[in-house]
Amino acid sequence: MIATTPRDRVVPAAPAGGAAAAVAPENTPYFQARDLHAYYGESYIVQGVGFSMKEGEILALLGRNGAGKTSTLRTIARLADPHLTQGEVWLAGQPLHRMKAYQASRVGVGLVPEDRRIIQGLTVQQNLQLAQIAPPKGWSLEQLYELFPRLGERKNQEGTTLSGGEQQMLAIARTLARDVKLLLLDEPYEGLAPVIVQEIEKTLHKVRDLGMTTVIVEQNAIAALHLADRAVILDMGEVVYDGTAKEVLDNEDLRHEYLAV
């Protein structure tokens, strides 16, 4: 038989009976990305990425610029680009690899993109309410304002006039306003002052303590490693390290080689 490249293998489209028709193999972890291969057009970018998570874990997904971190998050969230050609993604028994982005979102994938995408012309509260329109509903406004008191204080302010840190909080809160099982954060600390980073870190720990499973992608690797339980390092679209966050903090050679910190 002729060997096939990942590109030749096509992930089956969701069956008519619903995307969740597939059953997770026995002993599949709470979250598992298995041997993901994904392309932007002809560019082969995600080259066999795989990692697993237990429920309630925080995982730091790290690597240099262009390593494939954002692409991996987008693949997991099932956005159209990059296009998944091979591999499986399981979340709480659900086959994300057979779904489109809107279906993955419905079963609990919450991606907070780097650009935050606060909706212009809407107040903080309206941004949150809009997120709650499509069921299933996640956290209530009261719970969200308790978690992010700054947002409660500014609920009638237009979202786009918030400070960078407050906008990041709103972007996270808006995601939690839906029924999220897996929170995917792309560079949440970008451009923020250390004191705001600390505030968001505390909040993410609280969210974790309430059972959320979180992947954080960060250029600020040290901050992400302090937040996270586990770390996965990518280099040129492949996993080059998978272990505890503490091990990476303690291993200067590893940090120099792949993170330049």
Ligand X SMILES: Nc1ncnc2c1ncn2[C@@H]1O[C@H](COP(=O)(O)OP(=O)(O)OP(=O)(O)O)[C@@H](O)[C@H]1O
Q: Is residue 217 a contact partner of residue 73, using CB atoms and an 8 Å limit?
A: yes
Choice between 134 and 260, CB closer to ligand X: 260
CB 51 to Mg ion: min, Å: 17
CB 233 to ligand X: min, Å: 11
Q: Is 70 in the site for Mg ion (CB under 5 A)?
A: yes
Site string for ligand X, 203-242 (x = CB under 6 A): ----------------x-----------------------
CB 135 to Mg ion: min, Å: 31
What 98-103 contacts at long range (C-beta under 8 Å, 24+ apart), as own/partner pairs, is 98/11, 98/12, 98/13, 98/14, 98/15, 98/19, 98/20, 98/21, 98/22, 99/14, 99/19, 99/20, 100/14, 100/19, 101/77, 103/14, 103/19, 103/78
Can you tell me which of 18, 25, 66, 93 binds ligand X, judged by CB under 6 A? 66
Supply the DSSP symbol for 160: G
Choice between 53 and 79, CB closer to ligand X: 79
For residue 127, give the nearest of 103, 160, 150, 102 by alpha carbon: 160
Q: Is 68 in the site for ligand X (CB under 6 A)?
A: yes
Binding to Mg ion (CB under 5 A) within 75-134 occurs at none
Residues 22, 24: Cα–Cα separation, whole Å: 7
Choice between 148 and 189, CB closer to ligand X: 189
Can you tell me which of 9, 21, 43, 140 binds ligand X, judged by CB under 6 A? 43
CB 215 to Mg ion: min, Å: 13
Tokens of 130: 């809009």
Tokens of 120: 């212009």
Pairing of strands 230-235, 58-62: parallel
Tokens of 138: 């996640």
Size of residue set near Mg ion by CB under 5 A: 2
**Which residues of the chain form contacts with Mg ion (CB under 5 A)?**
69-70
**Which residues of the chain form contacts with ligand X (CB under 6 A)?**
40, 43, 45, 63, 65-71, 81, 219
